[in-house]
Structure 1
Amino acid sequence: MNIGLIFAGGSGVRMNTKGMPKQFLQMNGKAIIIHTLEYFEKCMDIDAIIVVCLKEYIGYLDNLLKINRISKVKKIVPGGTCGQESIYHGLCAAEELAEGDDIVLIHDGVRPLISEDLLSNSIKMVKEKGNAITVTPATETIIQADEKQTITNIIDRKSCYIAKAPQSFYLEDILKVHRQAIKDNKTDRIDSASLMKEYGYELHTLEGSNENIKITNPSDFYILRAILEARENSQIFGL
């Protein structure tokens, strides 16, 4: 079974929104998370979806799923006190659906500019290499600085990539690492790839599109709108 695990537990502090969390903001008549979920819904290789959601918005999300006819979501689970704990909640829910050599694609609910091909290629790479971390090449100079903000190193960007999502693994592997991290009191890792690397797994990159942005700041919201409008115009005018 191939399971999409969608993290939608953020409160949207950096978006400066006074009402809705960013994943529920409307874009072209749909919540951002619905734009994301539609790709998982339409992808023939995805069998089920788990969504990790802010507890107080679970009912609201459930209603959105019905309105937009998203049928592959099998469970909506509340998030934890941090991103890593929230993902673990989702993984445990996925384990309840598991049938064997299950693959889980961990994705941000506020990263809606993906494609069915990316999801299918992620699954294919997991089967071939054991995991698949979506990346895009770094296009600007990467520097390292110390606590005094003095530059200590300039890294050759030819060897640098930006980690994105989905990050895809065998469910058994990622669950084992999360449970070990809990035992080791390591609960502040920034993403699943970082956690897997820390516990000795060799990770493999899958290059994705530069459009695969995460809606974090207000400027990202307007970039998303521009890209969606450009896509619509290309369909209308045959560009």
Structure 2
Amino acid sequence: MFIKKVFLKEIVSKITSAVKHALIGSDTTASKSHLFVMESDSEEVAVGVNVNSYDGPLSYNYEPPRRERGQAELRGRVNGQMREIELWCEENRWRIGQVSWCLCGRCEAMLSAVESVCCREVDAYWSLVQNLDPPEDITSLTLHPGFEASCLNPFVLQIAYMDFRQEHGPLQASRPEQFRYTAYRQVVRWAYGILGRNIRKAIPSCVVSAIRRQFAEEGRGEGGRKEKPVCLGAKCRMREW
């Protein structure tokens, strides 16, 4: 009887031990399973980090921003345009001081080659005459009815100058100089439309002469002081000879 009890205790002890081992194994498995999930999560996080981490040089990573590139391209175009004007002036210095090149009969001798050009030589200006409806027998842009209305009328120029002043500030110039400068801008806008910044266009001699006569400095004769823009664009300044 005693042996049976001892034997039963051993069996119970073994069963208890087995149950404990089973529970511990279950916990361990669960723990391992939990660790695996965490490792899997951490791997996912690690993958996310790797996506945003440095992975070698990137395309265009060291290129200047778009705006800087645009400004550099604009400067390149402006410099190229100015160089073309300089080359043209060098080749046409013979025009200075005489009017054999004039086709409209209303140009005057100028002191620079860039101004020594006729309205009929520049398509943008002469097309204003050619596109008149109904057509008129006009030989010069200065005889176009729209020229006097938009470029020589002081009331129209006052309004145009107000618009200029609002955007760029007032000109440090006399009243006639303001009128002349605004008239130059008007004729360029009329011929070319809206220009980009620093894009300059020459103004024909006949047009410049008509504007100078209309808005001469008081007591200084026709044209007053000789101003020398005379390549005007969106932003220009008036210089004096």
Q: TM-score range by the shorter chain?
A: under 0.3
- The structure whose residues are more often strand, as a share, is 1
Q: Which has the higher contact order (CA 8 A, sep 6+)?
A: 1
Which entry has the higher C-alpha Rg, 1 or 2?
2
- The structure whose residues are more often helix, as a share, is 2
Q: Could you state the TM-score of these two structures normalised by the residue count of structure 1?
A: 0.24
